Structure 1
Amino acid sequence: MLPQELIRRKRDGASLKRGEVKDFIEGLTSGAVSEGQVAAFAMAVFFRGMSREEAVGLTLAMRDSGAVLRWDLPGPVVDKHSSGGIGDNLSLMLAPMLAACGCFVPMISGRGLGHTGGTLDKLDSIPGYATQPGLDLFRRATREAGCAIIGQTADLAPADKRLYGIRDVTATVESVPLITASILSKKLAAGLGHLVLDVKMGSGAFMTRMADAEELAESLVDVANGAGLPAAALITDMSEPLAPCAGNALEVAHAADFLLGRRNDPRVLDITLALGAELLLSAGIEQEERAARARLASALASGKAAEHFDRMVQALGGPKDFLSAPAKHLAAAPIIRPVRAGWEGFVSSIHTRELGLAVIELGGGRRVASDTIDHRAGLSELLGKGARVEPSQPLCLVHAADEEAFNRAADIIKSAYVIGERAGEQATILARITG
C-alpha cells in the first residue's frame, strides 16, 4: 500500500491491519517513507487513536525493525520505564539496586522529550560514558555490572528512533498509542522477561489528569502482555518535582548522593522501592511486597547498589573513580544563584511543567531535535509542596551559563510557584495497574 493511502485511511478513522502497519514501519526504517509522511501518520494517530490490536502490531513492527536480543544470564532480565517528569532520575538508582538483588537490567532509555528530561542526556554528563555503545559492549556491561543503561543503538528498534525524534518536534508527543509503541518496542528489543511502568500524573507529567494516566497505564500493560511481556504499571505523583533538582549533571549528582546514602528523599525512595518490588515479585525473587522492599532497601544501605552503579559506569567507559568523586567529573555552571520567593507563606502548588521549561531556557533541554544540551544547566534545591517560605528564602538555585539565561529562567520559576496556604498531603503512589 502507498504510504499516503495508509495515512488517509488512518486519518479517516479506519483500523489498520498488522501487515499494513508492518509495511509502513519498514518504509520508515529504510527511508522509503518521507519525514513528512511520518509526521502525517503520527498526527493521524494522535487524533484517531489505535485499537489494542493496532497498537500491538505497531509495537511488534517497531521491535522487529532491528535486532531482538536474547540473553543467557544467571538471573531474571528485568527493566523499568517512566513516562517522564521533572527531576525523575529513578532509573539511575533503581537499575543498580535491582542488579544488587540478583536481576540483570539491560535498560534502553531515551533522550529528553518535550518539557521532560531524558535519562541518556543525564548520563551524557558523565565524561566517557558510552550511551550509544555497540551490542557487544552492551551485552558485556550488562553481564559484568548487572545493569547497563544505554540508548538505542543502530541495531535496536531503529524505526522508533526516527519516529521518536519526529514526535518531539511535531506536537504528537502525548499520543497514547505512540507512547506505548515507543516504550515497548525498545523494551521488547532488549529481550526482557519482566517490565514495570512508572506512569506519571500531575502538573509536571504529560498526563495531567488521572483518567489520562490510567488510559496510558492500561495501554502499556495491555499491549505489553499482548506482545508476550509480563508487565504492571504504577501511576505516581508528578504534581511537584520528584527529586529536588532538574537538569542533567545535577540529577546525576543527586543519584550519586542517594546511592551513597548522603541523601534520603522520601518520595524518591518510596517510588523506587515500589517499582523495584513489582519486578522482584514478578520475577519470583520475592513472594511478598514487604520482603521485596526490604531486600531493595538492604541493597541500597549496604552499598552494593552503589558498587553496581560504579561497575556500570566503568564498563561503559566512564571514570573509574566517578562515584567516589562525582563533583570532580561533572561540569559546573559559571552562574549558580538563588531565585527568592519575595513573599511568605507555604508552597501550595507548583506548575511543575514550567520548571521543565525553565531548564530548557537554560539550555538543559531541546527546542528542536538538533539542539546541543548544556549538561551543567538546571535547578537545584527545589522547594516542594508544603514547604514554609520566607520572603528572602530561595525557591531554588539556578545553574546558568550566562545572565540572560538566568533572568529568563528566574521569571519562569517565580510564576511556577504558588505561595499560599499549606498544601495537603499527596500520596506518591496513586494507583496500580496489572494485566
Structure 2
Amino acid sequence: MAIPQEIIKTKRNGQVLSRAEIQQFVQGLTDDSFSDSQAAALAMAIYLNGMTVPETVALTLAMRDSGKVLNWQGKLNGPVVDKHSTGGVGDKVTLMLAPMVAACGAYMPSIAGRGLGHTGGTVDKLEAIPGYSCTQSLSRIQQLLPDLGCVIVGQSSELAPADRRLYGIRDVTATVESIPLITASILSKKLSEGLDALVMDVKVGNGAIMATANDAQALAQSIVNTATGAGVATRALITDMNQILGTTAGNALEVVETLDYLTGKYREPRLHQLTLELGANMLLLGKLYQDKASAIAALEHSLSSGKAAEIFAKMVAALGGPTDLLEKPDNYLAKASVVKAITAPQSGILHFNNTIGLGMAVVRLGGGRSHPAQQIDPAVGFSQILAAGSAVEAGQVIAQVHAATAEQAEHAIAEYLAACSFADSALTPLIHQQIGA
C-alpha cells in the first residue's frame, strides 16, 4: 500500500492514479488517514493535471461506496430516474418534474441540495413549505418511494460521506472548479440513489457557474462519460442561463410558481419547454417511451389530468407539509412585508447582462446564505419577471421585488436594473446542445 505522499507525488507529476490508489485516498477521507493538508495537496494536483475518464470513474465509485447505496431491486415496477442541474437562478424544475415523471411510471428519489453562492437550492425551496422535512433516513425514503413515485429530500449523512469532507477542503483551497472533482462530487451522490438513468442539465451563460460553451461542454462530457462508465445511462443537455428561469426567484415565490404550473394556472413558456425536454429524456432513457413525441404527450397529460399535481400534494403531506397546500397556498407560504414594482428606466428590448447579479440580489435580500449556518427568509425575492427579448416602454413594470424592509427593496431594485440592458440583441437558444446516447 502506498503512503499518502506517494499518491500525491504521482498526480503532482501528471501521472495516472491506479484504482487502488484512488480507493486508498477516498478511504483516507473517511477514516482520516489522509490529513486535510494531504487531501488539499491531492485536490490541487488533480485541479492542475486533470484525470482520465477511468480515474474519474474510479473516484466517483469510491466516493459513492464510502456510504450507503440505495438498492431498488425487486421493489419497484418501473425505472429509477433522476435529473440534476448545475445550478441557476429561478431553477425550480425539479419540483415540477418529479411528480410529472412519477405520473408517467418512473420513480424519482431525488437527493437535492441547498443554495450555493448565487444559485437557489431545491431543499431551501421545499423548506419554504411549513412542516416539509428534507431530513429523512434512507429507510424512510425506501418506504415512501414505492407509494409516492417521487421523494425529494436533502443529502443524508449516510450518503457519500467522503464527498462532504472533500468538498469542504476544495471550498477553502481554490479547487472547486476542477471538472473531474465536480463530476465525482455530483455523481457520487446521484449514483448512490440506485439509478437506472440520469439526465443532467448543465447551465451555461451569465447566470451559470459554467459561463462559456467550452466549459459547459467539458463538464457535460465528463459527467456523461463517467456516469456511463459507472453503468448508468446518462444524457446531458446544455441549457441557457442568460436570464432567470421562469417568472420568480426566491424560495416561497418559486413554490407558488410551481403550484401555478402544476395546477395549470400559469406555465411560463420557456420554463415549460425546458421541463418537458428534460422529462422526455428521462422517460426515454428509462425506456418507458420509444420516441420524444410520445414522452412529451405523456408529460403533458400528467399535467392536464391533474395527476402530477396530486402526486406533488401527496409527497408534501407525506414529508410533513400541509395536506391542502394546493388548495390554500396563501395560508402557508410566507409573504414579504414590502412589495415594490421595478419599472423600466427607458424603452427598448429587455435583456439581462448579469444574471448572477440577480441571484446575489436575492441572497442579499436574505433569500440565500453568505455563510452555511445562516437562516434564510423564504418570503423575499423577485416575481412577475418579464422575459428577455420583451419590448418594454419607459415606466413599464418589468418585475416586482419582495423584501423585508423598504431600504432592502430599494437596494434590490437598483441591483435588478443594473443587471438589465434595453438595447436590441439576439436571444440565446434555450437548448444549446445534447451530449450522450
For 2:293, the aligned partner's letter is R
Could you tell me how far apart the structure 1 residues matched to 2:249 and 2:327 are? 22
- 1:253 alignment partner in structure 2: 256
Q: Indicate how the Cα distance of structure 1 residues 38 and 381 shifts in structure 2: closer, same or farther if over 3 A, else same.
A: farther
Structure 1: 5+ residue runs without aligned partners?
none
| Selected match of 1:106 from 103, 109, 112 | 109
Write the letter of the residue equivalent to 1:291.
Answer: S
Q: 2:383 aligns with which of 375, 380, 383?
A: 380
The alignment status of 1:232 with 2:245, answered yes or no, reads no
Shift of 1:66: 0.6
Correspondence list, 1:23-422, <5 A: 23-71=24-72, 72-168=75-171, 170-421=173-424
Query: 2:407, 2:380 → 1: CA distance?
Result: 13
Indicate if the aligned counterparts of 1:350 and 1:385 stay in contact, CA closer than 8 A.
Answer: no
Is contact 1:144–1:311 with CA below 8 Å preserved after alignment?
no
d(CA) in 1 for partners of 2:179, 2:416: 29
CA deviations 1:40-74 (Å, max 9, x no partner) are: 44444333322211211111111001111111201
Q: How many equivalent residue pairs?
A: 434
Q: How far 1:394 moved relative to its partner?
A: 3.1
1:22 equivalent to 2:6? Answer no
Report the Cα offset of residue 288 of structure 1. 1.0
Structure 2: how far apart are the matches of 1:411 and 1:335?
Answer: 16
Deviation at 1:3, TM superposition (A): 4.2
The one-letter code of the counterpart of 1:196 is V
Q: Is the 8 A contact 1:113 1:168 kept in 2?
A: no
- 2:429 is matched with 427
Measured after TM superposition, the shift of residue 107 of structure 1 is 0.7
CA distance in 2, matches of 1:139, 1:151: 14
Secondary structure at the counterpart of residue 363 of structure 1:
helix
- Aligned partners of 1:373 and 1:3: how far apart in 2? 40
The answer (yes or no) to whether the contact 1:114–1:168 under 8 Å persists in 2 is: no
Does structure 2 conserve the Cα–Cα contact (< 8 Å) formed by 1:348 and 1:419? yes
Q: 1:16 to 1:114 in 2, by over 3 A?
A: farther
CA offsets per residue over residues 250-302 of structure 1, 9 Å max, x none?
A: 11111111001011111111111111111211222111110111011110111
CA distance in structure 2 between the aligned counterparts of 1:325 and 1:85, rounded to whole angstroms = 28
SS at structure 2 position matched to 1:420: coil
- Cα deviation, residue 36, structure 1: 5.0
CA displacement 1:211-248 (0-9 Å, x = unmatched)? 11111111111000101111111111111111121111
| TM-score, normalised via structure 1 length | 0.94
Query: Which stretch has the larger CA shift, 356-365 or 96-105?
Result: 356-365
Which deviates further from its counterpart, 371-380 or 168-177? 168-177
Q: Distance in 1 between matches of 2:362 and 2:9?
A: 38
- What TM-score, normalized to structure 2? 0.94
Q: 1:335 to 1:152 in 2, by over 3 A?
A: same
CA distances 1:9-37 after superposition (whole Å, capped 9, x unpaired): 43443332222222222222234444555
Alpha carbons of structure 1 residues 135 and 51: separation in structure 2 relative to 1, 3 Å = same
Structure 2 unmatched ranges of 5 or more = none
Q: Partner amino acid for 2:320?
A: G
Residues 38 and 163, structure 1, Cα contact 8 Å, conserved in 2: yes
Gap change, CA 1:374 and 1:35, over 3 Å in 2: farther
Q: Which segment is superposed worse, 362-371 or 257-266?
A: 362-371
Q: 2: distance between equivalents of 1:255 and 1:301? A: 15
Q: How far apart in 2 are the matches of 1:243 and 1:170?
A: 35
SS at match of 1:298: helix
Distance 1:244 1:170, change over 3 A: farther
Residue identity opposite 1:388 in structure 2: A
AA at the equivalent of 1:375: P
Partner AA of 1:394 in structure 2: V
Q: 2 CA distance for matches of 1:57 and 1:235?
A: 25
For residues 58 and 381 of structure 1, do their structure 2 counterparts lie closer, same or farther at Cα, with a shift above 3 Å needed? same
Shift of the 393–377 alpha-carbon distance from structure 1 to 2, 3 Å rule, reads: same
Alpha-carbon shift at residue 188 of structure 1 (Å)? 1.1
Aligned-residue identity in percent? 50
- How far apart are the structure 1 equivalents of 2:394 and 2:343? 7
Give the Cα separation in 2 of the matches to 1:45 and 1:356: 30
* CA separation of 1:311 and 1:34: change in aligned 2, threshold 3 A: farther
Letter in 1 for 2:395: S
Tell me: CA distance 1:181–1:54, structure 2 relative to 1, closer, same or farther (3 Å): same
What is the letter of the counterpart of residue 65 of structure 1?
S
